[in-house]
Amino acid sequence: MANIVELNPVDYVTVGTIGPKGQRTFHLQAGKDNRVVSFTIEKEQARGLAEAIKELLEDIDERDDTVTEADFSVLDMDLREPIEPMFRISQMGLAYEADDNMIVLIAQEFMPSSLVDEDEDADDLDEFSFLDDDGEDPGVARMWCTREQMKALSLHAIDIVKSGRPDAKQNGRIIYYWT
């Protein structure tokens, strides 16, 4: 049985980091009432999420002839304690619920086990197993957010990603220069 988290709607959603530049751990976090859920993500996932949200909001705004704004004076984008990740995210998706004017952020848990049953023919789609070694489905979180919350998340995530090392290509390595 999969661990399913449903926050409908969230009170807040944010991305933040813990640790010094070059060694930061990225977290996606959301909360509803007194419940705080945190997930570990990769830096590139944070960047990709921000870009996907931006594109989705541009499409919605164009279709509805609106402009989605983020008021940071009323939105607190800091991580909240406790920061105890439920799981590491492997993939995320976005959906727009037009009737409620909400965007759903769906996050799925990373499962380190094999995705292919080696006893089956590789050409058969039934061979894929998305269960872990114990037969458990990956955890899933669905976070229902306003367009304004998602706009703020997108802008904030880009700022967090950019606030790392000046040259991300260094990736913690020593760069040698010859003259």
**Distance from C-alpha of 51 to C-alpha of 127, rounded to nearest angstrom:** 33
Percent of the chain with pLDDT over 90: 67
Task: Report domain extents, the chain.
Answer: 4-170
Q: What confidence score (pLDDT) does residue 134 get?
A: 60
Mean pLDDT of 41-57: 96
Tokens of 109: 């848990």
> Among the ranges 75-79, 110-114, 126-130, which has the highest mean pLDDT value?
75-79
DSSP assignment of 11-67: SEEEEEEESSTTS-EEEEEEEETTEEEEEEE-HHHHHHHHHHHHHHHHHHHHHHT--
CA distances to 1, 60, 137, 145 from 17, in Å:
30, 29, 28, 21
Percent helix, strand, coil in the chain, to 5, is 25, 30, 45
Residue 116's pLDDT band, with cuts at 50, 70 and 90, is very low
Q: What confidence score (pLDDT) does residue 178 get?
A: 59
> Residue ranges of the alpha helices (H) in 65-142?
none
pLDDT digits (tens, 9 = 90+) for 66-110: 999 999 888 899 999 989 999 999 999 999 999 999 999 999 999
Residue 38: beta bridge partners?
A: 29, 85
pLDDT digits (tens, 9 = 90+) for 145-179: 999 999 999 999 999 999 876 655 555 555 555 54
Q: What confidence score (pLDDT) does residue 129 get?
A: 45
Q: What confidence score (pLDDT) does residue 65 get?
A: 95
Percent of the chain with pLDDT over 70: 78
Range of lowest pLDDT (15-29, 74-88, 101-115, 125-139): 125-139
Q: What confidence score (pLDDT) does residue 22 get?
A: 83
pTM of the model: 0.80
Q: Which amino acid is at 101?
A: N
Average pLDDT of the residues of the chain? 85
Q: What confidence score (pLDDT) does residue 122 get?
A: 47
Q: What confidence score (pLDDT) does residue 112 get?
A: 77
Q: What confidence score (pLDDT) does residue 126 get?
A: 45
Tokens of 60: 């919605």
**Distance from C-alpha of 44 to C-alpha of 160, rounded to nearest angstrom:** 11
